[in-house]
Amino acid sequence: MPAAPLEINGLCAGYGPTLIIEDISFSVKAGDRLAVLGRNGMGKTTLLATLMGLSTRHDGQIKIGEQDITDRRTSTRADLGIGYVPQTRDIFASLTVEENLRTGLKGRPVAALHEAYEMFPRLRERRRNYGMQLSGGEQQMLSMARTLLGKPSILLLDEPLEGLAPVICDELMALLVQLAASKEVTIILVEQQIERALDFADSVMVMERGRTSWAGRPEVLIADRALVDRLVGVGIH
């Protein structure tokens, strides 16, 4: 399915009665890419979980294009085109790489697995290995490839580079840049590697204590190291 626009209005959510994010509003045009930045514990992961229907929504609206998905189940949101790569990766440790990938096909033919192996040749080499036998970088490749096999129109990425070697980070970011260039998927990226996120994004939102503290163009932050340090606590080198 083609890339879809996403619109969020007044979103308040958390877990049970506890509010984590409050009054979040933003929109992303179809095919664009938004970086969500902020210190740890500011609600970024909860935001993505809420978009996927995995938290308790207290107020606000979520729309894909003209379709209101605010009250839709997680499975329905996935069917409507939202793909989610969580920080925890969530691969099946007791399944092989190929068996993991098959769970992401969403009714597509098994022959479509070649797309995953073209994206990440290393997965082809490891296709008979179990998830528990993979390195952290290979697990992240598997999680991302499995999600992309479902042809999402909106891709949510929660710190995909966390704990990975620089060469693996380069490989993953190269794939994301290629995806972004195709304009076939709308991407929301939560990432602590600030420079990589700013280089990638069309727009940026910074979160602080569950709210939006700043939003704008990445070039504004790139040009103002003091502003980055104040908002995120990590300067740009």
What confidence tens digit (pLDDT) does each residue in 8-46 have? Answer: 999 999 999 999 999 999 999 999 999 999 999 999 999
How far is C-alpha 193 from the chain's CA centre?
14
Mean pLDDT along residues 182-205? 96
Q: Map tokens 């380069």 to a residue.
A: 170
- d(C-alpha 45, C-alpha 24), whole Å: 13
Mean pLDDT along residues 133-137? 94
Reported confidence tier of residue 127, pLDDT bands at 50, 70, 90: very high
- d(C-alpha 236, C-alpha 70), whole Å: 37
Predicted pLDDT at 234: 58
Beta bridge partners of 230: none
Distances (CA, A) of 84 to 40, 128, 165, 182, 212: 20, 24, 22, 19, 21
In contact, 187 and 174? CB cutoff 8 Å: no
- d(C-alpha 177, C-alpha 175), whole Å: 5
Best CA proximity match to 3, nearest among 151, 149, 122 = 151
| Residue-wise pLDDT tens digits, 54-99 | 999 999 999 999 999 999 999 999 999 999 999 998 999 999 999 9
Reported confidence tier of residue 237, pLDDT bands at 50, 70, 90: very low
137's tokens: 């970088």
Residue 236 pLDDT > 70, yes or no? no
pTM to 2 decimal places: 0.94
Predicted pLDDT at 178: 93
In contact, 218 and 35? CB cutoff 8 Å: yes
Task: Report all structural domains of the chain as residue ranges with CATH numbers, in order of start.
Answer: 6-90+154-232 (3.40.50.300)
pLDDT above 70 covers a percentage of the chain that reads: 98
208's tokens: 């602080």
Q: To the nearest whole number, what is the mean pLDDT of the chain? A: 95
